[in-house]
């Protein structure tokens, strides 16, 4: 069995499973597995989902957080409306100030921030890694603004030379942080997730 064969088989399996269970994306299973392992999202949580289209992770958050929870998805692409009061989305670039202002209007504070955002792939590994780290840092800086003390954080990163540095930045701000890869993540893919719990809010005095 070649690596490629295994990779395609796994991809096919989760693709069919997502269709059968009416998830908008295969990625739903990654969040399910990560949440089972780390308990990042709980019933009643308010969750910000960055890079959320087409909405597979939002569906999983909706299930876990339940009707007393809330999820706001943000993506460059439009996210098809779920028609629910507690599931909202914004179309925009979360690295930009105007989008962050819109996020804060809807969600001035939240319990969990998750990001599955992937940059446009250039094919040049260093560039793609660097763009991914930039997205991760934007997610972390949004956390500084709206994540509640004790809150949780999950972010996807394309591995490369700055992964360790970014992980250090996360470790400084949370009581627990771990680099991890869910089973549903493609075999051989360079993506990895940073899961962190217990946000240590720093109070900034003007």
Ligand X SMILES: C[S@@+](CC[C@H](N)C(=O)[O-])C[C@H]1O[C@@H](n2cnc3c(N)ncnc32)[C@H](O)[C@@H]1O
Query: Site map for ligand X, 7-46, x if CB under 6 A?
Result: -----------------xx-xx------------------
Of 50-58, 61-69, 144-152, 182-190: span binding ligand X (CB under 6 A): 50-58
Supply the minimum distance, in Å, between the C-beta of residue 2 and ligand X. Answer: 25
With CB under 6 A as the contact rule, the residue among 33, 86, 95, 159 that binds ligand X is 95
Is 156 part of the annotated catalytic residue set? yes
Interface residue with ligand X among 38, 88, 102, 118 (CB under 6 A) is 118
Tell me how far, at minimum, the Cβ of 94 lies from ligand X, in Å.
4
List the 110-115 sheet strands across, edge first.
Answer: 87-91, 70-75, 46-50, 110-115, 147-158, 191-199, 174-180
53 counts as binding ligand X under rule CB under 6 A: yes
Intra-chain end-to-end CA distance of the chain, in Å:
60
Q: Where are the beta strands (DSSP E) in 65-180?
A: 70-75, 87-91, 110-115, 147-158, 174-180
Comparison of 91 and 171: residue with beta carbon closer to ligand X: 91
One residue of 116, 128, 143, 194 binding ligand X per CB under 6 A: 116
Q: Which residues are 74's β-sheet partners?
A: 50, 90
Residue with tokens 């991890």: 180
Active-site pick, 156, 171, 178, 201: 156
39: left (phi over 0), alpha (psi -120 to 50) or beta: left
For ligand X, the closer of residues 101 and 172 by Cβ is 101
Which 120-159 positions form the footprint of ligand X (CB under 6 A)?
135
Return the residue matching tokens 């890079």.
51
Q: Within 13 Å and on the Cβ side, how many CA atoms surround 168?
A: 5
Residues with Cβ within 8 Å of 81's Cβ and at least 6 positions away in sequence, in order, are 89
Residues that bind ligand X (CB under 6 A): 24-25, 27-28, 51-57, 74-77, 93-95, 116-119, 135
Among all residues, which ones are annotated catalytic?
156
């Amino acid at each position: 069995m070649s690596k490629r064969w295994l990779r395609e088989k796994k991809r096919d399996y989760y693709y069919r499973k997502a269709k059968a269970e009416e998830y908008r994306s295969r990625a739903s299973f990654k969040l399910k597995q990560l949440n089972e392992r780390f308990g990042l999202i709980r019933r009643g949580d308010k969750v910000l989902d960055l890079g959320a289209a087409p909405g597979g992770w939002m569906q999983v958050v909706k299930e876990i957080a339940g009707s007393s929870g809330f999820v706001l998805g943000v993506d460059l692409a439009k996210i098809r409306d779920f028609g629910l009061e507690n599931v909202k989305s914004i179309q925009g670039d979360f690295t930009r100030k105007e989008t962050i202002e819109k996020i804060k209007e809807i969600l001035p504070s939240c319990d969990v921030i998750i990001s599955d955002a992937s940059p446009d792939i250039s094919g040049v590994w260093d560039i793609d890694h660097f763009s991914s780290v930039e997205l991760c840092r934007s997610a972390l800086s949004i956390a500084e603004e709206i994540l509640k003390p004790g809150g949780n954080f999950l972010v996807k990163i394309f591995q490369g030379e700055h992964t360790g540095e970014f992980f250090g930045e996360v470790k400084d701000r949370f009581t627990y942080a771990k680099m991890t890869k869910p089973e549903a993540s493609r075999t051989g893919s360079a993506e990895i997730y940073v899961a962190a719990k217990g946000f240590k809010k720093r109070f900034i005095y003007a």
